[in-house]
Amino acid sequence: MLPRALLTDSVFDSVDVERQILHSVAEIERLDGGAIEDVVVQGRDCEAILNTYLGPITAELIAQLPKCKIIARYGIGVDTIDVDAATQAGIIVTNNPTYCVDEVADHAMALVLAAARKIVFYDRAVRAGLWAPTAGKPIKRLRGVTIGLVGYGNIARQVAARAAGFGMDILFSDPFVSADTPNVIGRKVELDELLVASDIISLHPPLNAATRGMFNQAVFEAMKRSAILVNVSRGGLVDMTALVAALDNGLIAGCALDTFETEPLQDDHPLRGRENVILTPHAAWYSEDALELLHRGAPSEVRRVLTGEWPIHVVNPAVRGRNRAGL
């Protein structure tokens, strides 16, 4: 009898890809209910969990999955999984950090350009019958504008490369990246300096206890009044109440957001309807190419573990040598 792999949730209409990859390795079972509590009922005898959004996968839930060897995320973030608890239980946690690096970097740069050149504002104006080339003033030449990257991982480095092509000055702040790291584009500074110096700030850190709500009232007060905030990372990085207040009080000039603490964004959310705000529906990751890589990532990692191979993208490497898969 084949091991069972539980698919908690999915953005795809079928499990054909999962069945193709896990053929002869595991039997795919889809979660019947829509609540995380249902994972305990159906996942108790499963050796693998494939997860997209459903969560949180807490320590209490993990303790009730005695046969689980791997929790494989389809996407990048693992903030919905208690990784420490998984490690203690001997469960490998994997993610899919490379499937959409180009797409998210492209989207971040598109938001930078749209906000800096006020593309959305002009589009709305022309559609409303207004033809006024200087109605969007003030607009600064992009060359020489300073962009600050908070977090300097794979995506941020690609944003830096794109920004350099436009002649922008690049700063980055990341406690885990040294200034002498090879192939670094830009200059490393402390966050305080980045906030004061940047005309545009683009967010790229992971969401965790240390970064949740890191862009709060004090941070907005430190930024330039002319600054624009761009977020294609995680909505929870930004204190949304503080952001709305910062926009209301003119602490910053505007923002361009693809991610939000609560999604979908509520119909009556105060960010809607503002001329200095650009909103996209957590779409930065999307392209047909990325979609294919997204679909194949998690089941491919499950296959590796269930066939005795160490997976490629392990979030908790400390579990190596002391996990249920014997790897």
Residues belonging to the active site: 234, 263, 282
Count helices and strands (H / E) in the chain: 11, 12
Nearest CA-CA partner of 230 in 157, 280, 161, 158: 280
- Are the beta carbons of 7 and 28 closer than 8 angstroms? yes
Q: What H or E segment, with its residue span, contains residue 203?
A: strand 200-203
Question: Alpha carbon of 310 to those of 45, 120, 301: distances in Å?
Answer: 22, 47, 9
Q: Which amino acid is at 230?
A: V
Secondary structure (3-state) at 188: strand
Instruction: Give bridge partners of residue 202 from the DSSP assignment.
Output: 149, 230
Return the residue matching tokens 């204190």: 239
**Residue 138: cis peptide before it, omega within 30 degrees of 0:** yes
- Are the beta carbons of 164 and 117 closer than 8 angstroms? no
